[in-house]
Homo-oligomer: A and B are copies of this chain.
Amino acid sequence: MQLGFVGLGNMGKPMARNLARAGHQVTVFNRTHSVAQELSREGARMANTPADAARNEIVITMLADDHAVESVTFGDKGLLSALPKGSLHISMSTISPELARRLLAAHSEHGQQFISAPVFGRPEAAAAAKLFIVVAGERDSIAKAKPVFDALGQRVFEIDQHPDHANLVKLSGNFLIMCVLESLGEVFAVAQKAGIDPKSVFEVLSGTLFGAPAYTNYGPRIIDRQFSPAGFRMPLGLKDIRLMMQAAESHSAPMPFANVIRDHFLGAIANGHGDLDWSAMTLEIQRSAGLA
């Protein structure tokens, strides 16, 4: 297929590469051109504007936040102005459900299609085409996107016909990871102060009821305070908890665990840990227990 791909960060670059390797003709756009050039040497076409990348059957966006998606879509020479009628925008970024609704409305007005397909997985999973893809939107549009998903992920979860629902599910997943960080952080701090090796606590946990990737990925990292290099930086975690809380507030649903998490992100950032991995929010727990 003819694909546009906008956003060649830690996640986007390996994803675009996998699409090219799967035989698609990929036109890439990235604000920093050097990254795009790297892919162009591997056979991708380089676009000078988001609009240039959008003159295809499908254009995919994989960007850091709402603001970035808004600017490549609505901005001057944005996707919206160039995507052909009937073509499809697949938003794979972790954005707010509210923006997804606005994107759907705008694309519909222009006779274009839009679906949300955020992913779970770190850069290594992106490189290995092992992402989990959560998709929502019109059935036809999702069917059209299948070759894209085949080239990128190990499994696709289809939610329903409302694109923004996929974004809320993605935010819910990130929220649950943060709950795991916080709950492990609290348990390890108490264990440490009680003179128990947190490693032996974690062995019990992961060997019994908590043997899932959310725990096994982060447990040892928290115990060893191995927060650098960052897989996912603190400010992105803060952004996601904020988006989750805004979505919940728009439905008048309190989320008391989210409050705790948000405050620990704020506190860790206020104390100079903004460059670390998001699991460094547990430093606030350590600190309040007199351990950091």
Contacts and interface: CB of A to CB of B under 8 A. Distances in A.
Interface of A: 97, 120, 132, 134, 155, 157, 159-160, 162, 165, 168-169, 172-173, 175-177, 179-180, 182-184, 186-187, 189-191, 193-197, 200-201, 203-205, 207-215, 217, 242, 244, 247-249, 251-260, 262-264, 266-267, 269-272, 284-285, 287-290
A280 to B, nearest CB: 14
Contacts of A157: 200, 203-204, 207
B168 A190 contact: yes
A191 to B, nearest CB: 7
Contact of A205 (B159, B173, B194, B264): B173
A272 B289 CA distance: 10
Given A197-B160, A247-B194, A254-B289, A214 B204 contact: no
A90 to B, nearest CB: 18
B194 A165 contact: yes
B290 A270 contact: yes
A211 B212 contact: yes
Copies of this chain, tallied across the complex: 4
Given A203-B157, A209-B177, A267 B289 contact: yes
Contacts of A177: 209
8 contacts: A159-B201, A176-B205, A210-B212, A210-B213, A253-B270, A254-B267, A263-B288, A284-B288
A269 B252 contact: yes
A197 B161 CA distance: 12
Which of A200, A217, A288 neighbours the largest number of chain B CB atoms within 10 Å of its CB?
A: A288
Which of A132, A175, A208, A290 neighbours the largest number of chain B CB atoms within 10 Å of its CB?
A: A208
A179 B284 CA distance: 18
A53 to B, nearest CB: 29
Contact of A172 (B168, B190, B269, B288): B190
A157 B199 CA distance: 12
B213 A209 contact: yes
Which 9 pairs across A and B sit closest by C-beta, in order of nearness? A270-B290, A212-B212, A259-B259, A254-B263, A193-B251, A252-B270, A179-B183, A267-B288, A253-B289
